[in-house]
Structure formats: structure tokens, C-alpha cells
């Protein structure tokens, strides 16, 4: 299976390096020329607790520079999803699919509007990765990846992708309910990302103190109430417990929102806490904690 990853930041780089190490035919695409130049010059380096690995792979600024592929994995920030979907559509072979493992609400639907929902796979990943510099990533926490079809039950293509990821060292399972997966990750990001960005702390610190655990619980309970009102069956029973266990499993990681703020880039707060707020308004569920988190992050973005 020929694969292109659009978005060669922390998560795109991590998946690219693991897949390349397993012998998969994988290329990375990113519109940031300095990132691509670094990967072309030095490959992708992933720092693991047990040492580092360096992988050489094809890296390009424009997807159109690639041969047609069977699978495109989208790992760009939500604001760039539309552009990535258009590029992906141009390099997909007949029968090929686009997989989004991005954070936040609405990415799969944006991609489906471009290529049709039958060609879209969606899912989540609980790995924690920090982009240290272009082409250098710290793998700061492991977790499961889950994926399925946007418009139906998982099929052989999904199972093939899951088997490929798993054999590359990225344990992956298929699921028939991608809405549940996406909401499940949204609740986790609503509990971790904005708080770590505001407190400027790694994920693990949220689980260490009563005050921060309570803040997590306040944000998470609101998100769960909205998910329930939307008729979503979350993929875990105790959401606060789950979020704290992800914070612990990715203890050394800087959340993606903290990384964005530290780099002076816009964050994904609109599709995380902001999405909880918007869905809450639609369904009549109060979400004052998520609204405050959204407003604080937006204020910091503009400082
Ligand atoms: O998804 C993440 C993120 O930072 O965006 C977690 C799982 C919280 C890892 O940091």
C-alpha cells in the first residue's frame, strides 16, 4: 500500500517514521518549506525513551509531486484541512481512501465534502508527540489508534490499514462507530489541551494535583453532558478517569495546544472546547467552563 502523509509535524512525522521503519512505501507532504528541507537533508528523527531512530523518506512541499497513492493520512491542523483534502483528492488512486486522525470536530466532514464520504476513514490516536525542531520529534507517550469508515462498517481496507499500522509498532484497531471515537478524543482534548496550554505544563502535571484534577473534571463533565445530549455513546465508561489516564500515559508530552501557543501559531481551540460550546448551545447544555477555556486561549493567541 502506497501512503502519503499530509502534515509533517509531530504526529505526521511520528507516523511517517514508524511506517518507513517497517518498510512501508510512505512519503510526507507539508506546505512549510523549512520543514520539508530539514527532512530532505537529515531524514526524520524520533526520540524515544530507549534511544532515537532516524529514517530517510520522500518529503515534498506539494502533494502533486507524488505518484498516486492508496492512502492519504491527514495530520494537518484543522484550519488547513480543506486545502489538505483538495491535495489528497488529486493524488488518490481509484479505490484509495483518505484517513483523518486529527484532533477536533468536523475534519472528516470537511474531507467528505471534497472527496465524498465513501472515501473517508476517520479515527483517533492517543500517542503524544512533540515537534522539537523541523524533522525531530519526541515520542512522549504511547496509546492506541482506532479507525473506521465515516459512512459504514469497517471493511477490508480498514482492516488492512490497521494491520499495517500495528505491524509498524502503532497498535491500531478498527471500530464501526467513528462518531463515538471522535467524541471520545474530543472529550480527552477538552480536558487536557487548553489547561496544559494555560498552565504551560506537560500533560502529566494535570494528574498530579487536586486543583488541576478538579479543573480537568469540570471541563470533561460538561463535554460528556453535551455528548450524551447528542446521543453519542462514548468509548469508555468513566470519562474523568480516562482523561487523567491519558494525561498520565503522555505525562512528558506538551499538548498540541501548548506547542502551538509556544510557537505563536493559532491553536485548535475552536474545534475542541469551542466545539463543545457550540454543540452545547445547539442542544441546550450549559458549558461555562469550556467557554472560559476557549476565551482564555483565544486571548492568549492574540497577546
Ligand atoms: O491529542 C493530544 C494532543 O496533545 O493534542 C494528547 C493525546 C492530549 C497528547 O498530548
Taking only the tens place, the pLDDT of each residue in 207-228 is: 999 999 999 999 999 999 999 9
Which residue has its alpha carbon closest to ligand 1 atom 7? 126
Alpha-carbon span 193 to 205, nearest angstrom: 12
Report, as an integer, the average pLDDT of 183-195: 98
Report, as an integer, the average pLDDT of 43-67: 97
Q: Residue 302: its pLDDT value, please? A: 84
Is pLDDT at 265 greater than 90 in this prediction? yes
Q: Is the CB of 128 under 6 A from ligand 1?
A: yes
Task: Identify the H or E element spanning 110.
Answer: helix 107-115
Which one-letter DSSP state was computed for residue 152? B
Pocket test for ligand 1, best of 131, 190, 192 (most atoms within 8 A of CB): 192
Report, as an integer, the average pLDDT of 258-267: 96
> What spacing in Å lies between the alpha carbon of 85 and ligand 1's midpoint?
22
Alpha carbons within 13 angstroms on the beta-carbon side of residue 68 total 9
Report, as an integer, the average pLDDT of 272-291: 98
Is pLDDT at 203 greater than 90 in this prediction? yes
Shortest-distance atom of ligand 1 to CA 246: 7
Q: Residue 79: its pLDDT value, please? A: 96
Catalytic residues: 185
Alpha-carbon span 238 to 258, nearest angstrom: 25
Residue with cell 463533565: 221
Alpha-carbon span 94 to 299, nearest angstrom: 45
Which residue has its alpha carbon closest to ligand 1 atom 10? 255
Q: Is the CB of 193 under 6 A from ligand 1?
A: yes
> What spacing in Å lies between the alpha carbon of 18 and ligand 1's midpoint?
18
Q: For the chain, what percentages of helix, strand and coil (3-state, to nearest 5) are there?
A: 50, 20, 25
Q: Is the CB of 27 under 6 A from ligand 1?
A: no
Helix or strand or coil: residue 289?
Answer: helix
pLDDT band per the 50, 70, 90 thresholds, residue 303: confident
Is pLDDT at 268 greater than 90 in this prediction? yes
What's the chain's average pLDDT?
Answer: 97
Amino acid at each position: 500500500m502506497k501512503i502519503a502523509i499530509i502534515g509533517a509535524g509531530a504526529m505526521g512525522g511520528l507516523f511517517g517514521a514508524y511506517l518507513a521503519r517497517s518498510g512501508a512505501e510512505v512519503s510526507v507532504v507539508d506546505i512549510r518549506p523549512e520543514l520539508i528541507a530539514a527532512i530532505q537533508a537529515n531524514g526524520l528523527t524520533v526520540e524515544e525513551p530507549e534511544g532515537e531512530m532516524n529514517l530517510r523518506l520522500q518529503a515534498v512541499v506539494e502533494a502533486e509531486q507524488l505518484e498516486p497513492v492508496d492512502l492519504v493520512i491527514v495530520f494537518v491542523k484543522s484550519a488547513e484541512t480543506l486545502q489538505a483534502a483538495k491535495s489528497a483528492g488529486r493524488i488518490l488512486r481509484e479505490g484509495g481512501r483518505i484517513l483523518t486522525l486529527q484532533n477536533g470536530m468536523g475534519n472528516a466532514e470537511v474531507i467528505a465534502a471534497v472527496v465524498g464520504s465513501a472515501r473517508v476513514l476517520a479515527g483517533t490516536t492517543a500517542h503524544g508527540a512533540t515537534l522539537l525542531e523541523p524533522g525531530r520529534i519526541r515520542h512522549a507517550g504511547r496509546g492506541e489508534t482506532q479507525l473506521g469508515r465515516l459512512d459504514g462498517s469497517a471493511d477490508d481496507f480498514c482492516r488492512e490499514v490497521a494491520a499495517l499500522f500495528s505491524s509498524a509498532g502503532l497498535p491500531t484497531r478498527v471500530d464501526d462507530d467513528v462518531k463515538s471515537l471522535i467524541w471520545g478524543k474530543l472529550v480527552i482534548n477538552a480536558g487536557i489541551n487548553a489547561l496544559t496550554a494555560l498552565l504551560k505544563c506537560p500533560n502529566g502535571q494535570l494528574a498530579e494535583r487536586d486543583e488541576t484534577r478538579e479543573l480537568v473534571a469540570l471541563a470533561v463533565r460538561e463535554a460528556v453532558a453535551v455528548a450524551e445530549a447528542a446521543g453519542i455513546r462514548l468509548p469508555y465508561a468513566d470519562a474523568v478517569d480516562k482523561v487523567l489516564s491519558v494525561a498520565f500515559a503522555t505525562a512528558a508530552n506538551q499538548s498540541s495546544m501548548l506547542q502551538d501557543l509556544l510557537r505563536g501559531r493559532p491553536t485548535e481551540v475552536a474545534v475542541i472546547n469551542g466545539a463543545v460550546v457550540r454543540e452545547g448551545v445547539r442542544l441546550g447544555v450549559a458549558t461555562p467552563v469550556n467557554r472560559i477555556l476557549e476565551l482564555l486561549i483565544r486571548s492568549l493567541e492574540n497577546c
